[in-house]
Structure 1
Amino acid sequence: MLTYEPGDSLAHGLDPRGKLAVQFGLAVAVFGDPTVRGFAVGGAVALGALAAGRLSPLRVVRAYWPVFLFLSVGPVVGGAALGEPWFRVGPAVESLRSVARVVPVVFVSAVYVRTTPVRETRAAIQLTVPGKIGRLFGVGVGLVFRFFPVVLRDLRATRRAVRARAGERRPLRDRVERILTRSLQRSFLRADRLTLALRARCFAWNPTLPPLAFRRRDYLATALGVALAAWPLVARLPGRFIPVA
């Protein structure tokens, strides 16, 4: 699981609001224009984001391999049939096209997580969404970003402990039950400790967050996000503007 790592890349220096705009715009573009042209735009943006964050695509695949494994099963399930023919190419290709839309979004999201501190993400959300709703979203995102990697580490530690005690010799159902039970116990214990820590630190809904300021490159990133969000509409204009694939 990727987490924030300090650095001096281009993506590290961008305002989180600009990076969120690019993510939102990319999601709208790839899902709103499911054509070869839309896939090409999404792939180009994803490669550009990886280069801006100095993040290897192989590292993203290793970190999010359960997501990619789940996506890879989609075309197989979509093309499977209960009778002759046992596998249908048309539905499999359609499912593959749906899966391909998600891949660029995952890569860009990985770059965001790798290059953006949690406090800046919370500040960006609370500045974008006003009032108590924004503060609630900011707190929720901050807790998820901090809590989820810890839960994953506990899960891996439980799996290593089971293997160290010759757990591989036990039936699969028994292993899964032991790992899930112990992982849930650790997660609830973590949640109780987190609640106590928040109370001990006088948790505030509106703490002093890091100041955010747009620079020229942040405006460019935001403009890119707006352009991506408008892409499906532009692609459907008459042929004299952009030919529809």
Structure 2
Amino acid sequence: MMFAFVPGDSLAHRLDPRGKLLVQAAFAAAAYAHTTPRGLAVLSALAVACVRAAGGSVREVAWGYRWAAPFLLTAPLIAGATLGAPWFELDRAFRAGLASYRVLLILLVAGAYVRSTPVRDSRAAVQRTVPGKTGQFLGIGVGLVFRFLPLLQRDLVAAREGMRARGGGALPVRDRMRIVATAGLRRAFARADRLALALNARCLAWNPTLPRLRFRRRDLTAVALAAALLVAAVVPFLRA
């Protein structure tokens, strides 16, 4: 499961979360600016380096995003299909394939961030970057999302395994999807009710004591990388 922090002592674990968020944003901008095979090849090497810097493997992170595989794989087929002759345009399918691969690279970098950053540090980074109640609201949202997604994913896996244990594997795909989705939604609403009760019981704090964040010399690496990616993203537009 990839939507969770994994304790470790890798380079990414020791970096300030604000620098890592900046790298994510700059990487996404560069990925949308450079959509050629050569540009995506360079970004691929960088995405792999980010995953390795977080102490993970590309296979592990990619497996955490396996739910996105059907959409990324079918997008080129849908984009290339036409209602008349020639029935399939390779050029359109190729461009859609590059776009799907670009999304995969962005997901890999995001997975490296999640793997190497505690939830409280992510919340602190958001609240200390965005001032006022807006930052506090966003910080709470970030914290809840990172804590809630692993539970929802675990519930879906449990529902699927329970269905298979009861012989549901022989049912049509549509019925299996309906059973798993219904069970997942039911558990999600139940968890949401328990979460609301727990927040009220614990007197939800809008401005809790968050971990102290401080840029160190090693964080200059992340800032320099983000700056280089931003420059690479802007240059194509200046030449146009």
Give TM-score, length-normalised by structure 1.
Answer: 0.91
Distance in 2 between residues matched to 1:209 and 1:120, nearest whole Å: 8
Partners of 1:232 and 1:179 in 2: CA distance: 41
1:175-221 alpha-carbon deviations (Å, 9 max, x no partner): 33322222211111100100111111111000000000000111220
CA distance in 2 between partners of 1:157 and 1:77 (Å): 32
Moved segments of 4+, more than 6 Å: none
Superposition deviation, residue 38 in structure 1: 2.7
Unaligned runs of 5+ in 1: 239-243
Paired residue for 2:61? 60
Work out the CA distance in 1 between the residues paired with 2:93 and 2:174.
Answer: 31
C-alpha deviation, 1:236, in angstroms: 5.0
The correspondence of residues 148-187 of structure 1 with structure 2, limited to 5 A, is 148-187=149-188
Change (3 A) 1:187 1:198: same
Kindly state the Cα deviation for residue 169 of structure 1 after the two structures are TM-superposed. Answer: 3.3
1:100 aligns with 2:101: yes
Query: How much identity, in percent, do the aligned residues show?
Result: 50
Partner SS state of residue 12, structure 1: helix
- Aligned residue for 1:25, secondary structure, equals helix
Which residue number corresponds to residue 16 of structure 1? 17
Name the aligned partner's letter for residue 145 of structure 1: F
RMSD: 1.7
Given that residues 37 and 98 in structure 2 are in contact (C-alpha distance below 8 angstroms), is that contact kept between their aligned partners in structure 1?
no
Report the alpha carbon displacement of residue 37 of structure 1 after superposing the two structures with TM: 4.2
Tell me the equivalent position of 1:220: 221
Question: Aligned partners of 2:124, 2:50: CA distance in 1, in Å?
Answer: 22
Question: Is the 8 Å Cα contact of residues 61 and 68 (structure 1) preserved in structure 2?
Answer: no
Deviation of the 1:150 alpha carbon: 0.4
Amino acid across the alignment from 2:163: V
Structure 2 spans left out of the alignment, 5+ residues: none
Q: How many residues align?
A: 239
Normalised to the residue count of structure 2, the TM-score between the two structures is: 0.93
> CA contact under 8 A between 1:12 and 1:53: conserved in structure 2?
yes
- In the other structure, the counterpart of 2:148 is 147
